[in-house]
Amino acid sequence: MRLRLGWVAAALGVCAGALLPGVPARAAGAVTGPGAGSGAVSLARLFDNVAVSDDARPDAADFDGAGRSLSARDLTAAGWTPGRALTVQGARLTWPRTAPGAPDNVRAAGQSVRLRGRGDALAFLVAGTGAEGADAGGSGTVRYTDGSRSAYRLTAPDWRTGPLATKALALPHLNTPTGPLAERARLYVVTVPLVRGRPVASVALPRDRDLHVFALSVRSAGRGWTGGWAAAPSGYTSVGPWTDRTLRLVVHTSAGGPRARLRFANTFASTPVRIGGATVAARGSGAAAAGRPVPLSFGGARGLTVPAGAEAVSDPVPFAVPADADLLVSFHLPGTVTAAPVHRLALQRSYLSEPGDHTRDAGPEAYTSTLTTWPFLTGVDVSGGAGRGTGGGPGTVVALGDSITDGEKSGTDTNRRWPNVLAGRLLRQHAVPRYGVLDEGISANRVVTDRYPGDGVSTDTGGVSALHRLDRDVLAQTSVRTAIVFEGVNDVRWGTTADQVIAGLRELADRAHARGVRVLAATIAPCEGETLCTAAADTRRTAVNAWLRRADGTFDGLLDFDAVLRDPAHPARLRPEYDSGDHLHPGPTGLAALADSVDLRLL
Residue 418: its H or E element: helix 418-427
Total number of domains constituting the chain: 2
Q: Is residue 256 domain-shared with residue 165, that is, in the same domain?
A: no
Query: For the ranges 7-21, 359-373, 393-407, 584-598, which has the lowest average pLDDT?
Result: 7-21
Confidence class for position 196, pLDDT limits 50, 70, 90? confident
Q: Is 204 in the same domain as 236? A: no
The answer to whether residue 178 sits within a structural domain is: yes
pLDDT at 34 > cutoff 80: no
Pair 262, 115 in one domain: no
Average pLDDT of the residues in 554-571: 98
Grade residue 33 by pLDDT with cuts at 50, 70 and 90.
Answer: very low
The average confidence (pLDDT) of the chain is: 93
Looking at residues 453-474, what average pLDDT do you find?
98
Which has the closest alpha carbon to 70: 165, 158, 171?
171
Kindly state whether residues 444 and 297 are assigned to the same domain.
Answer: yes
DSSP at 385: -
Cβ contact 149:35 at 8 Å: no
In a domain, 537, yes or no: yes
Of the candidate ranges 2-16, 27-41, 160-174, the one whose mean pLDDT is the lowest: 2-16
What secondary structure letter does DSSP report for 3?
P
Rounded to whole angstroms, the Cα distance separating 164 from 385 reads 38
Is 512 within a domain? yes
Q: What is the pLDDT of residue 1?
A: 35
The answer on 152 and 101 residing in a single domain is yes
Q: Give the mean pLDDT of 237-262.
A: 98
| Residue at 2 is within a domain | no
Q: Would the pLDDT of 465 be above 90?
A: yes
User: Alpha-carbon distance 145 to 246, whole Å?
Assistant: 47
CATH of the domain at 464: 3.40.50.1110
Confidence of residue 222 (pLDDT cuts 50, 70, 90): confident
Residues 356 and 296 in one domain: yes
Mean pLDDT of 551-576: 97
Show the domain range for 295. 225-602
Task: Tell me if 68 is assigned to some domain.
Answer: yes
| Distance of alpha carbon 54 from alpha carbon 95, whole angstroms | 16
User: Which 8-state DSSP code applies to residue 9?
Assistant: H
Residues 318-334, mean pLDDT to the nearest whole number: 98
DSSP codes, 110-142: S-EEEEEE-SSEEEEEEEE--GGG--EEEEEEE
- End position of a domain, from candidates 219, 248, 276: 219
Q: What CA–CA distances, in Å, run from 441 to 10, 467, 600?
A: 30, 13, 20
- The span from the CA of 578 to the CA of 343, in Å, is 26
In this predicted structure, the answer to whether residue 15 has a pLDDT above a threshold of 80 is no
534: CB partners within 8 A, 6+ apart: none
> Do residues 513 and 594 both lie within one domain?
yes
Q: What pLDDT, on a 0 to 100 scale, did the predictor assign at position 551? A: 86
Q: Pick from 175, 201, 219: which residue ends a domain?
A: 219
Each residue's pLDDT tens digit, 486-531: 999 999 999 999 999 999 999 999 999 999 999 999 999 999 999 9
Q: Phi-psi region for residue 33, left (φ > 0), alpha (ψ -120 to 50) or beta?
A: left
47-100, pLDDT tens digit by residue? Answer: 999 999 999 999 999 999 999 999 999 999 999 999 999 999 999 999 999 999
For residues 343 and 435, membership in a common domain is answered with yes
Summarize the confidence of residues 391-417 as an average pLDDT: 93
Residues 130 and 38 both lie in one domain: yes
500 shares its domain with 524: yes
Are 436 and 555 contained in the same domain? yes
Query: What is the arithmetic mean of pLDDT over 188-208?
Result: 96
Report the 10 Å Cβ neighbour count for 116.
11
Mean predicted confidence (pLDDT) in 21-29: 28
Separation between Cα atoms, residue 396 and residue 263, nearest integer Å: 16
User: For residue 521, what pLDDT is reported?
Assistant: 98
Query: Model confidence at 393, in pLDDT bands (50, 70, 90)?
Result: confident
**Residue 234 falls within a domain, yes or no?**
yes
Describe the chain by its helix, strand, coil percentages, rounded to 5.
20, 35, 45
Is the Cα torsion angle 136, 455, 298, 281 positive or negative in sign?
negative
Note whether residue 200 is domain-resident: yes
Residue 1 domain flag: no
Contact (CB, 8 A) for 200 and 218: yes
| Domain limit, last residue, from 219, 246, 276 | 219
Share of the chain above pLDDT 70, in %: 92
Domain match, 325 and 473 both: yes
